[in-house]
């Protein structure tokens, strides 16, 4: 019924990986965190760490991108059990889309209820500045328009329904919580909200592409997150995501600016401390099934 090219993992494969991890740590995470490019410092906030290199975890892909360490870190954040991906996977690394998103299903089977994803992105919104933190309220899934969706293939109802809703992909209470926490921490001047657009990468966008994406309603453009969000929502986890605007998308033929990965990592370094404080404060306020 489904083409031979389907490269998904079965429920049993995911269960085996989750059980392998659970057998080696006493931490029972309720929050899962994904670190974007240059934002791996988030994992260093965890106390009493139990660390696994991706290469040692059954079924796990390997990180191939500079700025993605390739470690799964279990620990507690202000007493709350968490698991953190210090490095994620991208379509452009050549992995099948189901492999990129496999960790979301592992998170679910580990007991994670809430996923917090971060990414580095180019700012399309002309009001955005480098260093702004954008709370993601919605997404544009460009690879999805071309038929590349992580849920393609047989659907296993143990994970979720065949046709999951995405109009509520980004939890509104968590967006409000992020806004409240950001304002409280004094980040109001660089806190934004907006729509994130995913492309396949690895080439950065042309000027014409940036102009088109902006016209379509995107505030920021990147190469990740959306696939993970779809799989996390499919299996019923709550999702919060933010973009660090690491560079301004080039929209003008007179501009001399050129997007580059070094600038992306450098901006990550500069905002690391504030991002870590914001995420860790949010985690302390997320209850298991409600917010305090």
Ligand X SMILES: Nc1nc2[nH]cnc2c(=O)[nH]1
By annotation, the residues acting in catalysis are 37, 68, 90, 92-93, 120, 223-224, 247, 261
By the rule CB under 6 A, 30 interacts with ligand X: no
| 247 annotated ligand-binding residue | yes
Separation CA 171–CA 237 (nearest Å):
10
Query: 262 to 281, contacts with ligand X by CB under 6 A?
Result: 264
Q: Are 200 and 91 within 8 A, CB to CB?
A: yes
Q: How far is the CB of 86 from ligand X (least distance, A)?
A: 18
Structure tokens at 104: 């979301």
Separation CA 96–CA 43 (nearest Å):
26
By the rule CB under 6 A, 222 interacts with ligand X: yes
What are the helix (H) ranges across 5-112?
11-22, 97-100, 102-110
| 66 annotated ligand-binding residue | no
Residues 6+ apart with CB under 8 A from 181: 278, 281, 282, 285
Interface residues with ligand LQZ7MJT6 (CB under 6 A)? 36-37, 65, 88, 90, 119-120, 201, 222-224, 261, 264
Q: How far is the CB of 3 from ligand LQZ7MJT6 (least distance, A)?
A: 28
By the rule CB under 6 A, 38 interacts with ligand X: no
By the rule CB under 6 A, 249 interacts with ligand X: yes
Rounded to the nearest 5 percent, the helix, strand and coil shares of the chain are: 35, 25, 40
Identify which of residues 101 and 224 has a Cβ nearer to ligand X in the complex: 224
By the rule CB under 6 A, 131 interacts with ligand X: no
Binding site residue list for phosphate: 37, 68, 88-90, 120, 224
């Amino acid at each position: 019924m489904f083409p031979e090219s389907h490269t998904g993992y079965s429920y049993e494969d995911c269960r085996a990986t989750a059980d392998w991890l659970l057998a080696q740590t006493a931490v029972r995470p309720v929050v899962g965190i994904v670190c974007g490019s240059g934002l791996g410092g988030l994992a260093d906030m965890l106390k009493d760490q139990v660390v696994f290199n991706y290469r040692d975890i059954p079924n796990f892909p390997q990180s191939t991108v500079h700025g993605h360490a390739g470690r799964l870190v279990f620990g507690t954040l202000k007493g709350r059990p968490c698991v953190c991906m210090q490095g994620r996977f991208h379509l452009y690394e050549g992995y099948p889309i189901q492999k990129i998103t496999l960790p979301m299903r592992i998170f679910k089977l580990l007991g994670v209820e809430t996923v917090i994803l971060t990414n580095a992105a180019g700012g399309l919104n002309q009001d955005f500045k480098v260093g702004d933190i954008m709370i993601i309220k919605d997404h544009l899934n460009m690879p999805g328009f071309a038929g590349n969706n992580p849920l393609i293939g047989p659907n296993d109802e143990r994970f979720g329904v065949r046709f999951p809703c995405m109009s509520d992909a980004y939890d509104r209470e968590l967006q409000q919580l992020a806004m409240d926490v950001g304002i409280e921490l004094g980040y109001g001047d660089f806190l934004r909200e907006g729509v994130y657009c995913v492309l396949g990468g690895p080439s950065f966008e042309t000027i014409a592409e940036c102009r088109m994406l902006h016209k379509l309603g995107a505030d920021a453009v990147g190469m990740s997150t959306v696939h993970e969000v779809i799989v996390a929502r499919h299996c019923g986890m709550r999702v919060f995501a933010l973009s660090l605007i690491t560079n301004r998308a080039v929209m003008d033929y007179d501009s001399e600016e050129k997007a580059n990965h070094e600038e992306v990592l450098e901006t990550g370094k500069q905002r690391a401390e504030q991002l870590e404080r914001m995420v860790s404060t949010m985690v302390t306020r997320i209850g298991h099934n409600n917010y305090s």
